[in-house]
Structure 1
Amino acid sequence: MDLEAPVEDLDVMAIDKSCHSSSLYHRLNALRKKGSSCNFDIIVGGDKIPVHKFVISAKSKYFRAILMRGSVRQVELKNTDKDSVIMCVAYMYGEPVSACKSKWAGLAHAADMLGIDMLLKSIVSYLERKLTDETFSVISSLASTNSLHGLRRKCVEFATSHFIYLSDMEELHHLDAEFLEELFSTELRASECSKLMSLLDWTDHNTKQRHETFNSCFRKLDLSKVAMSFRRFLLDNEPLIKDSLPNLRLMTVSLLNSAGIQSENVIESPEKNGILLYNGKSIGAYQFSCVSRETQPFRVALPTREFSAVYLPGYIYCFAQQAVFQISIATPGKFSNAVEKCKMQYDHGVQPTVVSDGRYIYAVLGSRCGHESCIEQYNPIADMWRCLTRGGGLSCHACVFLDGKIFCVGGAINGRPVAFVHSYRVDGNSWTEHQSLPVPRRSCAAAVLGQSIYVIGGRENVDEPTNTNLVFDTRTDAWSGIAPMLNNRRGCGAFSILGDIYVCGGCVGDVPAFSLIERYNVSSNMWEEIETPFSSDFDVICSTAVVLPCSH
């Protein structure tokens, strides 16, 4: 043959290799099924599947990586469906694959895990074509589980245009939180009312794990387009809204706006109208109504004999050293157990100084000997603590939250009373020094009324409690005196309720003030003592201002 001759002068024979390729895989598959010339075993579900190394390494990224390590003779696949692996092996040997609906997920998982790209691409293409109202649940779950992002996007697009039907058929319940958030970020073809009802229904299937996603999606809704009657019903009856201050505020503002009422200065939460008094002797509690002045037992199992507490709508949070407990008070008369929550990161003492802004809770300074002091912020929804700032060794101080700032008043350093007054701005992470107390004071109580901070009782020296009280005007940064209490107290609780100041608990000298509740009338600058039915068996170790049901 003349090798230099032009190509067009030669007779060129073209051989179709498709028959050869098909025949080769057919013969190799026949050898595999007989176990002939196989040099590798795949173990799955307790069975061995003999295969040829060069075939599986050519078709599977997973096996290619395994076999590059050296002379490996077998591998065991765990947590993988055996039938799906058998189908994958058959596919690698050129056999057609067919899987019923119940096997779609297992086959996709096996193809993805083994890195058989062509098979996985074919599966995704098939599932995209099969996406209907009836198959949505299976296919969207499969896409999320196996991180098939392209298929997942197709499912989101499908759900966007079929949202109403899928919701009615209860096909949304299985969706994971990420999928639902992505869905609510699109232009759903549904009314705001339908979206809200579907969101509530989805959350009810696992409220503990899904409430954060509910909060996020709820804030994306246009509540003005939801019927006012439905919004009022949810405001009164739905715990996901009425027990969450941000959600409560959003719903309240939407109702006020719909009614044509200006909502710039909407009250952050229902006004407190009662006090919970915790008995250190019986580890029980009483609730006192500041409206009716009636008391009745509060059925609760307290976590310990020494703790501090703070109220958020529907719950009491108790703090004892680093331990945190949540007690539900949403259902009057129903026995409530203390549920342990995430522990504080730092030790703030036996009865930590805690305040709340209505959304977060703050453990403020205070430390036991040898422990670092700081301000920690607790997110009740996420059940998580984070340190905001570190501070000095202040203890026995009073704290209140006002206008985005935590005010620290008095206290003790190394056991000696101090007159310091500082405020910490949460969003700015900064401290401000204010006019000091006229006299150093520790173990006092504090309450906010308007723009003023009332400082009650405490110790002005190391030993003796006092009945003197002061008021700090945050607008002028100035102190003034008010009428003294009827009893000397230290370590008491002070609360602003319905325009007056209520004081309870603490010690009168060395005697626990078990039966003494005092009310300060701001307008008349006078104190009165309120009788209670408590006996000598009642020792108020802690108290909290709360919202009691209207019947009280």
Structure 2
Amino acid sequence: MLSHENVETKSGVVEIKEFEVEVCVKKCVDFIYTGDAYVAKEKRETLMGVAHMMQLQRLCDSIAIFLEDDLDPRSFFQTKKIANRYNCKQLEEKCNQFALQRFKEIAQSDEFMDLDEKFISFLIESKKTKAKEGGKCKMLLAWTKHDIDERKECFLSLVMKFQLTKMTLSYRRFLVENEPLIFESMQSLRSLTLSILDSHPENISSKDFDLTENEQLVVFDQTSQRMHCHDIDAKTWTPMQTIDQAIIQNTLHSAVVIESYIYVICRNGSFYRLEYAESNAKWEQMTNTNLQWACVVALDGFVHGIEYQNYSNVLERYDPSNNRWTRLTNKSLILAFESLVAADGKVFCIAGYSNQIGRATNQVEIYDPVTSTWSMDNGSLNEARYQASATATEEGIYVVGGYDNNRGSTLTTVEFRSSVTNTWMMLKPMKNARQFFSSCVIDKKVYVIGGNGNPANIEEYDPETEEWRIIETIQGKDNFPRATVALSI
């Protein structure tokens, strides 16, 4: 620019009008002299724009690497936009693979509705997309209806590419009976109708379907050495895959579900996963963690874990995309037997036993993955407890049971933290006192299973009626007490 006769040559000043970039221009100049490419997360998109304009390809490549390393369901859409705008081919491919692996998580974001037709077609048509056909169809419908006039033709062309027989029979019937977009395509209507007629008879109901699959309780039975799923509505148990012998020998401690996989962690830190929807799937051993007796939860597609039975303040995170555990910021309190739950985009570490004071605590620590920092909850539990269980709905967090050594008793008490008020309140107690057990949420109801003294009872809490009831007494099973999960079948 400065080698030609122009205003900038005469003035010696180049005005960059496209960006408010004082910090980023300085960073680019520093990079030219030092090669230092690190930049804070919130500046990366702007810095990429300035570096691209100044043709600093090595700096662009370095920023792309930072973006790849930090790719998660929250950052995906911005990272994809940067990759497309600045023609970062490797970053584009990384985003494509991430979207295929984490389809369900990104599809439930509001930003999914703004994706272009080409990318939606790529996700729907790919055989590598980690989602069931019914799930993909539901998200395609939601995306289409966001701008139905512009997207209707895309829907009609893509719906014919689904493997219809891999959708549940009841969902196909629901589409035929209730979906106006299907009515507009005789070819789609015909194909769906024929697929229903060709299917084997089963209980076909036209009940409405939301974006979630039918969720069921899954337990790990030591007696049969198999997983078993329990349909709450039908009150039936169905055997699933066997539990790998290595998992039995290393003693399964806790489990968590991410997408189509169940992840289990044993007392010695050995770590395994199973693609539960595939009947012939085999258990895979993944990278072991340094955590012993770990307690784990899923958040934003990652597994977060703490040490449960040891006094510890360590938090680790597992990334399925690279099969790697990473040590995160230590929490303040060194405790054992805490309750761990993910809610409101954060990890809550609740109560536990303090060796320093020799008793249970009622304090709550909160980890924010965006800032990588811990903070104390403004409110504490009404009762100190440890070996309790915690689970969450959109409305808030439930902490159930546990043991209070101050009183020397196993607890029936239940507390709830509202996501609106961020305060803890007491709810009606359970029917049975429990400690060292599992809890989960299905259809906004809380289920607890097992526990010292009550290994066979399953209790249900309905927030609408504010009542607990025993819904099942398990016969002939010896379940790993802290490994029950809810998953979509």
The TM-score normalised by the length of structure 1 is 0.52
Conserved in 2, the CA contact under 8 Å of 1:274 and 1:288?
Answer: yes
Distance 1:360 1:255, change over 3 A: farther
Distance 1:215 1:398, change over 3 A: closer
- CA-to-partner distance for each residue in 1:464-493, whole Å, 9 max, x for gaps? 311111112243232211111111111111
Pick aligned residue for 1:301 from 233, 243, 250: 243
Give the equivalent residue in structure 1 for 2:305: 363
**More contact order relative to length (CA 8 Å, sep ≥ 6):** 2
Pick aligned residue for 2:116 from 203, 219, 224: 224
Pick aligned residue for 2:428 from 461, 464, 483: 483
Give the equivalent residue in structure 2 for 1:270: 212
2:272 pairs with 1:325: yes
Conserved in 1, the CA contact under 8 Å of 2:397 and 2:417?
Answer: yes
Pick aligned residue for 1:428 from 356, 368, 371: 371
My pick for the range that moved more, 359-368 or 538-547, is: 538-547
Pick aligned residue for 1:292 from 192, 209, 234: 234
- CA-to-partner distance for each residue in 1:400-458, whole Å, 9 max, x for gaps? 11122111111112263111111111111222212111221001111112232111111
2:442 pairs with 1:502: no
Once the two structures are TM-superposed, the CA of residue 310 in structure 1 deviates from its matched residue by 0.2
Cα distance in 2 for residues equivalent to 1:421 and 1:227: 42
2:135 pairs with 1:257: no
Distance 1:312 1:336, change over 3 A: same
Pick aligned residue for 1:419 from 349, 357, 362: 362
**Residue type of the partner of 1:484?**
P
What secondary structure is seen at the aligned counterpart in 2 of 1:542? coil
In terms of Rg, which structure is larger? 1
Give the equivalent residue in structure 2 for 1:242: 131
Once the two structures are TM-superposed, the CA of residue 328 in structure 1 deviates from its matched residue by 1.4
Conserved in 1, the CA contact under 8 Å of 2:123 and 2:129?
Answer: no
2:298 pairs with 1:353: no
What secondary structure is seen at the aligned counterpart in 1 of 2:116? helix
The count of aligned residue pairs is: 328
Conserved in 2, the CA contact under 8 Å of 1:373 and 1:393?
Answer: yes
Q: Matches of residues 108-127 of structure 1 in structure 2 within 5 Å? A: none
Give the equivalent residue in structure 1 for 2:485: 545
Give the equivalent residue in structure 2 for 1:527: 468
Once the two structures are TM-superposed, the CA of residue 307 in structure 1 deviates from its matched residue by 1.6
Conserved in 1, the CA contact under 8 Å of 2:457 and 2:474?
Answer: no
What secondary structure is seen at the aligned counterpart in 1 of 2:274? strand
Distance 1:272 1:308, change over 3 A: farther
2:400 pairs with 1:456: yes
**Residue type of the partner of 1:538?**
D
- CA-to-partner distance for each residue in 1:504-542, whole Å, 9 max, x for gaps? 12222xxxx33211111111111111224522x423433
Conserved in 2, the CA contact under 8 Å of 1:355 and 1:363?
Answer: yes
Cα distance in 2 for residues equivalent to 1:456 and 1:466: 8
What secondary structure is seen at the aligned counterpart in 1 of 2:325? strand
What secondary structure is seen at the aligned counterpart in 1 of 2:410? coil
**Residue type of the partner of 2:328?**
L
Once the two structures are TM-superposed, the CA of residue 186 in structure 1 deviates from its matched residue by 5.2
Once the two structures are TM-superposed, the CA of residue 296 in structure 1 deviates from its matched residue by 1.1
Give the equivalent residue in structure 2 for 1:446: 390
What secondary structure is seen at the aligned counterpart in 2 of 1:491? coil
Pick aligned residue for 1:387 from 312, 327, 347: 327
Conserved in 1, the CA contact under 8 Å of 2:101 and 2:128?
Answer: no
Q: Which runs of 5+ in 1 are unaligned?
A: 1-181, 189-195, 204-209, 262-267
- CA-to-partner distance for each residue in 1:253-294, whole Å, 9 max, x for gaps? 744534479xxxxxx973661111111344322101233222
**Residue type of the partner of 2:317?**
Q
2:259 pairs with 1:313: yes
What secondary structure is seen at the aligned counterpart in 2 of 1:340? strand
Cα distance in 2 for residues equivalent to 1:489 and 1:341: 32
Once the two structures are TM-superposed, the CA of residue 368 in structure 1 deviates from its matched residue by 3.2
What secondary structure is seen at the aligned counterpart in 2 of 1:431? strand
**Residue type of the partner of 1:457?**
G
**Residue type of the partner of 2:286?**
K
Cα distance in 2 for residues equivalent to 1:529 and 1:474: 27
Cα distance in 1 for residues equivalent to 2:339 and 2:327: 20
Q: Which runs of 5+ in 2 are unaligned?
A: 1-82, 107-111, 151-209
**Residue type of the partner of 2:242?**
V
What secondary structure is seen at the aligned counterpart in 1 of 2:129? helix
Once the two structures are TM-superposed, the CA of residue 312 in structure 1 deviates from its matched residue by 0.9
**Residue type of the partner of 1:410?**
A
**Residue type of the partner of 2:262?**
I
Q: Identity of paired residues, percent?
A: 20
Conserved in 1, the CA contact under 8 Å of 2:130 and 2:259?
Answer: no
* Aligned-CA RMSD value: 4.1
Conserved in 1, the CA contact under 8 Å of 2:441 and 2:486?
Answer: no
Conserved in 2, the CA contact under 8 Å of 1:231 and 1:255?
Answer: no
Conserved in 1, the CA contact under 8 Å of 2:218 and 2:486?
Answer: yes
- CA-to-partner distance for each residue in 1:11-35, whole Å, 9 max, x for gaps? xxxxxxxxxxxxxxxxxxxxxxxxx
Distance 1:401 1:249, change over 3 A: farther
Conserved in 1, the CA contact under 8 Å of 2:398 and 2:417?
Answer: yes
2:279 pairs with 1:337: no
Cα distance in 1 for residues equivalent to 2:419 and 2:99: 38
**Residue type of the partner of 2:339?**
A
My pick for the range that moved more, 452-461 or 408-417, is: 408-417
Conserved in 1, the CA contact under 8 Å of 2:213 and 2:488?
Answer: no
Q: Matches of residues 144-223 of structure 1 in structure 2 within 5 Å? A: 211=97
Cα distance in 2 for residues equivalent to 1:294 and 1:398: 29
- CA-to-partner distance for each residue in 1:167-194, whole Å, 9 max, x for gaps? xxxxxxxxxxxxxxx9998599xxxxxx
Cα distance in 2 for residues equivalent to 1:394 and 1:458: 15
My pick for the range that moved more, 522-531 or 334-343, is: 334-343
Conserved in 1, the CA contact under 8 Å of 2:255 and 2:265?
Answer: yes
2:345 pairs with 1:404: yes
**Residue type of the partner of 1:407?**
F
Conserved in 2, the CA contact under 8 Å of 1:375 and 1:389?
Answer: yes
